[in-house]
Amino acid sequence: QQQQQQQQYISFPLPPTADELALPIQKDSEEEESEGEKEERKGKKRRRREEEDSDEEDRKRKRRRREREQEEEEERRRRKKKKKGKEKRRDYSSEEEREKRRKKKKRSE
């Protein structure tokens, strides 16, 4: 019997309460809210798209920056190698020049 009563209670709606009677006014505001919610959803989608776009742009920027930094580092290494090579050459030439100077001095004497 209790189960039947519960089923009947559930199957038949309760009489409207004061809050429910005031629903027509609330419905308008709910519709506005739902429109607002639609706008929010659109805004969220737009923001998500913009974020994804900006993420892609960020990735591209980072990749370009990494590539540029790698190229700069390679250029620095090349310059260092050249400098080392030049320094070595300078050392040799300076030694050779010293020897030449010595020979010239000896000849002149």
Report pLDDT digits (tens) over 66-85.
999 999 999 999 888 877 76
Report pLDDT digits (tens) over 27-65.
555 555 677 787 888 888 888 888 888 888 888 999 999
Report pLDDT digits (tens) over 1-30.
555 555 555 566 667 777 777 666 655 555
The domain limits of the chain are: 29-100
Could you tell me how far CA 29 lies from the centroid of its own chain?
40
Spatial separation of the C-alpha atoms in residues 19 and 50, rounded to whole Å: 42
pLDDT of residue 75: 92
pLDDT of residue 71: 94
